[in-house]
Amino acid sequence: MSLALMGGTFDPVHVGHLRSAEEVASLLDFRTIRLIPSYIPPHRRLPGTSALQRLKMLKLAIQDNAQLEVDDREVRREGRSYSVDTLAEIRQEIGDVEPLCFVLGIDAFRLVEEWHRWRELTDYAHLIVMSRPEMNEHPRDQAMSEELNAWIESREGELQDVSLTPAGSVCFIELTQLAVSSTSIREMVLARQSTRYLLPESVRNFIDENGLYR
């Protein structure tokens, strides 16, 4: 495998994001995982920090990991950040043959029907959906519409096969996702509580030096 993408607001990036990227990289032996911060997330409140600040924190967070890189195309593109547009751009850049994977969490995937042109996502990439080990049911059986379940069933594939085709599959993987969120970190910073070990130290310092989330 060569390339995987993980998008998000990263407001701020934290150890949960980085650990998920690390596990995905190890599981599928990706050469590179690109982290893509959104400019304006279509389905979330506007971030309290600027896109350039979030981009800077992400670059600080991964500076010692050669397998991770930051892709700033959504920040440069400005406007609402639609994943389908980003996947289409990258597919055009890498050609029609190379496998491409788009990694997202199960909670985001449950809302995928609200995404812009969501049915086209698998035209450009495989979807790798991260679920938690404590889930006892197939993720497809949990709070998903009949239409989405049918769409998944027509595309669900085995993880080991995604390297054989450029795009088209939906695969579910279990990862040890850490119980930490950007929301909780912002609340902790506002309350002057310690965020040590929840963020890379370089990101903690950047937040403190720039008075973010206060």
For 3-179, CATH number out of 2.120.10.10, 3.60.21.10, 2.40.50.140, 3.40.50.620 equals 3.40.50.620
User: Whole-structure pTM over 0.95, yes or no?
Assistant: no
Mean pLDDT confidence for 102-116: 92
What residue spans define the domains of the chain? 3-179
| 3-state secondary structure labels for all residues of the chain | CCEEEEEECCCCCCHHHHHHHHHHHHHHCCCEEEEEECCECCCCCCCCCCHHHHHHHHHHHCCCCCCEEECCHHHHHCCECCHHHHHHHHHHHHCCCCCEEEEEEHHHHHCHHHCCCHHHHHHHCEEEEEECCCCCCCHHHCCCCHHHHHHHHCCECCHHHHHHCCCCCEEEEECCCCCCCHHHHHHHHHCCCCCECCECHHHHHHHHHHCCCC
Average pLDDT over residues 54-78: 95
What's the pLDDT score for residue 115? 95
